[in-house]
Structures are given as structure tokens and as C-alpha cells.
Amino acid sequence: MRKIEVSPSILAANFANLGAEVKKIESIADYVHIDVMDGHFVPNLTFGLIVAKAVKRITNLPLDSHLMVDNPENLVDEFCEISEIVSVHYEATYHLHRLIQRIKEKDVKAFVALNPHTSVELLQDILMDVDGVLIMSVNPGFGGQKFIPNALNKIRRLNDIKRKTGLTFKIEVDGGINEETFESTLNAGVDILVAGSYVFGSEDPVRAIKTLKGQPKKISEG
């Protein structure tokens, strides 16, 4: 059976009580998704290293850090110290290859994130170096947005590339994931589901995560 991992985004959590929010998901989540926004790369500002380190201190879950910042080079080293996965945006750096190598040198999983308009085919010459691809299924910047259906097309194309090349990078999807949208992304070939409002906006975050971990009706053939 294929393992589906869930990475709840604390963007939708109650920041006045962040420790307790993270504890709610600790028994079942696979990661904590950390949405770092700088107010430049995306039109919103969230938090940085101080908050991420505070989360790291209170949980055993690995951190899945999603850097939505210009010049991610300035932040990656410190995020690598506390994360299992670091995602950097294709659109945010001139030297993606160098940045990916720098993350991997620290024994951290290097993922490349793509905005909705960025084609997966642009990754042809970097896919062999990455541990995963994060497909944005909303325009990054805010939680609670509607899933963009073309993300499914991109996930399928990526999965085709995996089949043809034999590469084993993971596919992660982020934005608008809920009980109505998650199955289609799994059918398209996703390994890791990020969910913010669906998990932390739920009265029962554990049940919400269990729903996302339910096996899809049909998994695309490998």
C-alpha cells in the first residue's frame, strides 16, 4: 500500500496558542508545515526562524519548511538546522542548482516549489537533484483559498516523468486540500498532502488528518 503523508500547515492554527495547536496533531501528522512569507515574494508576511524554532522545541514531528521568500539563499542554512524538508521556489532564486546542493549538503531533503503558472517541464534539468517537488494548487500567500484544478494536470505530468525516468522524488501538493479535493490529487500521484484550514479549522484535527490518510479509490498505475 502506498504511504500517504500529511503535513498540516500551522498557517491556519491559532497563533495565540500555537504550542497546543501543534500538540493536537502530533499523534498522527507526518510533518508540521511551516509557511514562511516575506511580504515580497508573496503579498503576505507570516513568521520566520524564531517561531519555527519555537515549534521545533515543542514537538517531535519533523518540520517541512516552505520558504515563500525572495533570496531564499539568505535563510536556508538556518532552516536546514531545524527542518527535515526545505522547499524553495523555482521563481525565487537565480541559482536553483546551487541552492538545492546547499540544502542536500546539510542532509536535509531539498524540494523545489512551483507556483501555479510554472510548468513542471521547466524542471527537466534539476529533477535528478531534488528530493521532491511541491506543487502549489493555490497562488501562495494565503490559507483558505480554492484549489486550482490545473494542479492535477501538473501532478500527472510529473508522475509521468517519474515513470519514464525512474526518478524517485516525492510529489507534495499545497493549497485548497480538503475532503473534496484530496482524492483527485492522490489519484494523480501525490505522496504528501499539505492542509491548513481543513485540519486546523476542523473541530477534530485528528479526524481530518485520518480522512486525508484514507486510501484513494484508485491509485494511478506506476
Nearer to ligand DX5, 140 or 189 (CB): 140
Long-range CB pairs of 97-102 (<8 Å, 24+ gap) are 97/126, 97/129, 99/72, 99/73, 100/126, 100/129, 100/130, 101/129, 102/73, 102/76, 102/77
13, 80, 112, 177: residue in contact with ligand DX5 (rule CB under 6 A): 177
The C-alpha cell that represents 103 in the structure block: 540544502
Q: Tell me the residue length of the chain.
A: 222
Site size toward Zn ion (CB under 5 A) is 3
Instruction: Name the residue with cell 484530496.
Output: 182
Binding marks (x or -) toward ligand DX5, 31..70, rule CB under 6 A? --x-x------------------------------x----
**Residue type (1 letter), 144:** G
The reply to whether 66 sits near Zn ion by the rule CB under 5 A is: yes
Smallest separation, CB 222 to Zn ion (Å): 26
Q: Is 38 in the site for Zn ion (CB under 5 A)?
A: no
Contacts of 14 (CB under 8 A, 6+ apart): 20, 21, 200
Does residue 131 have an active-site annotation? no
Q: What is the DSSP letter of 9?
A: B
Name the active-site residue from 30, 38, 64, 174: 174
Q: Pick the catalytic residue: 30, 35, 64, 191?
A: 35
| Contact pick of 21, 30, 35, 191 for Zn ion (by CB under 5 A) | 35
Say how far residue 93 (Cα) sits from the centre of its chain: 18
| CB of 69 vs ligand DX5, minimal distance in Å | 12
Active site residue 35: yes
Cell of 125: 534539468
First to last CA, the chain: 12
Count of residues in contact with ligand DX5, rule CB under 6 A: 21
Q: Which of 11, 82, 88, 96 binds ligand DX5 (CB under 6 A)?
A: 11
Short-list 44, 112, 110, 101, CA closest to 79: 110
Residue number of the CB atom closest to ligand DX5: 196
Q: Which residues bind ligand DX5 (CB under 6 A)?
A: 9, 11-12, 33, 35, 66, 138, 140-141, 143-145, 174-177, 194-198
Residues recognised as catalytic: 35, 174
Give the residues lining the site for Zn ion (CB under 5 A): 35, 66, 174
